């Protein structure tokens, strides 16, 4: 299936989940990720959920995992920079509805240990469907080769995305409410 079709289909699937189902799934994903990966004291890129897109609730990661979290900020050139999370006082929702830090220390992407990546759908090779802007593919290409890319998804992987591009970057893992998928 192509990305445009998958994007529409998985937005609809999210809408069909109740608020309770989304919260339970988010909690299960957090628990599974915290158990499977060695997260304490790592430098972690973590997206914060866009409420209107019904994304996985990643806010509890900040409270429950003793790590250095760096939150992505979209720059005018469509690049992502990352700012260290210190407190809620840093966070402001931008014009696109994305909660971002508005001040703080930045990190060079090469120093990140783990990147948690938002997605709508993912295939069994680790390729993802996002919102179509390419922010994460442009960012992931610059990460250290030892950095681990982890998608977070309400849904299990599909067999294949039919219209991959040469710049698409596969993820190493995906955490769902029921399983950790290893694509390496």
pLDDT digit string, tens, across residues 109-135: 999 999 999 999 999 999 999 987 778
Q: Measured in whole angstroms, how far is the alpha carbon of residue 61 from the centre of its chain?
A: 12
Cα distance between residue 31 and residue 141, in whole Å: 28
Maximum CA extent, the chain: 43
**Per-residue pLDDT averaged across 98-117, rounded?**
96
Q: Could you give all domains of the chain from N- to C-terminal order, each with its CATH number?
A: 3-182 (3.40.50.10420)
How does residue 171 score in pLDDT terms, banded at 50, 70 and 90?
A: very high
Nearest to 34, CA basis, from 178, 170, 175:
175
What is the pLDDT at residue 95?
85
What is the pLDDT at residue 43?
98
Give me 87's structure tokens.
Answer: 């407190």
What is the pLDDT at residue 53?
94
What is the pLDDT at residue 75?
86
How does residue 77 score in pLDDT terms, banded at 50, 70 and 90?
A: confident
Is pLDDT above 80 for 93? yes
What is the pLDDT at residue 33?
97
**Per-residue pLDDT averaged across 1-15, rounded?**
96
Strand duo 173-175 + 180-182: pairing: antiparallel
How many residues are listed for the chain in this entry? Answer: 184
What is the pLDDT at residue 76?
79
C-alpha distances out from residue 17 to 55, 77, 120, 170, Å: 11, 34, 14, 26
Q: Is the pTM of this model over 0.85?
A: yes
Residue with token string 């003793």:
66
Please write the tens of the pLDDT for every residue from 38-70.
999 999 999 999 999 999 999 999 999 999 999
Torsion on CA atoms 127, 114, 133, 90, rounded to nearest 10: 160
Question: From the DSSP assignment, how many helices (H) and strands (E) are in the chain?
Answer: 4, 11
Close Cβ partners of 75 (under 8 Å, ≥ 6 residues apart): 81
């Amino acid at each position: 299936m192509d990305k445009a079709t998958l994007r529409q289909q998985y937005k609809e699937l999210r809408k069909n989940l109740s608020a309770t189902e989304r919260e339970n799934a988010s909690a299960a994903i957090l628990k599974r990720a915290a158990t499977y990966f060695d997260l304490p004291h790592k430098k972690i890129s973590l997206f914060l959920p866009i409420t209107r897109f019904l994304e996985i609730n990643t806010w509890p990661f900040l409270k429950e995992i003793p790590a250095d979290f760096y939150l992505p900020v979209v720059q005018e050139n469509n690049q992502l920079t990352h700012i260290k999370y210190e407190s809620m006082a840093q966070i402001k929702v931008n014009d696109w509805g994305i909660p971002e830090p508005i001040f703080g220390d930045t990190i060079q992407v090469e120093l990140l240990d783990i990147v948690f990546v938002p997605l709508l759908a993912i295939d069994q090779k680790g390729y993802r469907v996002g919102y179509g802007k390419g922010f994460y593919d442009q960012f992931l290409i610059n990460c250290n080769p030892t950095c681990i890319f982890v998608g977070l998804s309400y849904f299990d992987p599909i067999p294949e995305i039919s219209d991959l591009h040469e710049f698409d970057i596969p993820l190493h893992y995906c955490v769902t409410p029921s399983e950790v998928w290893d694509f390496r």
